[in-house]
Amino acid sequence: MIFICEDDLNIQELVVYSLEQTGFNAQGFDNATKLYQALAKNDCELILLDIMLPDESGLDVLKKLKKDPKYKNIPIIMLTAKSSEYDKVLGLDLGADDYVAKPFGIMELIARIKAVLRRNVNIADKLIYKELELDKSSHTVVYKNQKVVLTLKEFELLQKLMENQGIVLTREKLLEDIWGYDYYGETRTVDVHIRTLRSKLNNDFDYIETIRGVGYKLG
C-alpha cells in the first residue's frame, strides 16, 4: 500500500489512479491527521508527502515519522511546489528518500517510486545495531568493520535477537524458533550458543544482555 498525503485533490486523485493502474494499491489523504490515523491501522510500503499541508508542515510530519521506531523505515518521497535548494536539502537531511517538485510527470513519479522501493528492499535485508551489521541476503556479519564468521545456528540466533531489538526473548522461545519443535535438547543449548556468539563479538556484553531467569535481549 502506498499513501499519498496531498491537499490538492486533483493531484491526489490523479496519483492514486495512476498508481492503481500501474499495479500498486494506493490511498490518499488531504491532511496529516488522516495520514497518522491510517498509519496506525495499516501497513504502508511508501509515503508520498506534500510539504504544504493544511494542518501541519510536511517537513514536521517527516521529522516525526523518522523519529518513531514504528515508522522510521517507511520510505518517504516529498512532493512540493517549492523548488528551492534549501527545501530539498532540508527534506533529505530529515530522512526523505527522494524529492519531486511540482509540476511533475506521472511516469517520472512512478519511476522514482519504483527506484526507492528497490533500494528499500536491499536495505531491509540488513539489520544494524550500533557497530554490528547482519546481512540476510549475503549471510554475513560485520562487527566494528571486521567480518565475523558464524555457524548457521549462531547466525540465526543473532538474526532473531537483532530482529527483536529491545525485546526479551526467552530461552524456550529461542530454542523453539531456531532449533524447532522436534529438537529435544535442553535450553542450555541456547546458553552455549550465546556464549560462543559473545566470544566472537569480543565478549561485548553491551550487545547481548542476559535477563536472569528469563532469557536474552539485544539492546
Q: What integer pLDDT is reported at residue 150 of this predicted model? A: 94
Q: What integer pLDDT is reported at residue 89 of this predicted model? A: 74
Is pLDDT of 29 > 90?
yes
Hey, which of 92-96, 150-154, 203-207 has the most confident mean pLDDT? 150-154
DSSP H or E segment with residue 49: strand 46-50
Q: Is the pTM of this model over 0.75?
A: no
- Binning pLDDT at 50, 70 and 90, where does residue 64 land? very high
- Binning pLDDT at 50, 70 and 90, where does residue 43 land? confident
Of 89, 110, 116, nearest in space to 17 by CA = 110
Dihedral sign from CA coordinates of 65, 67, 73, 77:
positive
Q: What integer pLDDT is reported at residue 42 of this predicted model? A: 87
Measured CA to CA, the distance from residue 201 to residue 131 in angstroms comes to 10
Average pLDDT for 117-142: 82
Alpha carbon 53 to chain centroid, angstroms: 25
* Residue in the structure block whose three cell numbers are 511508501: 46
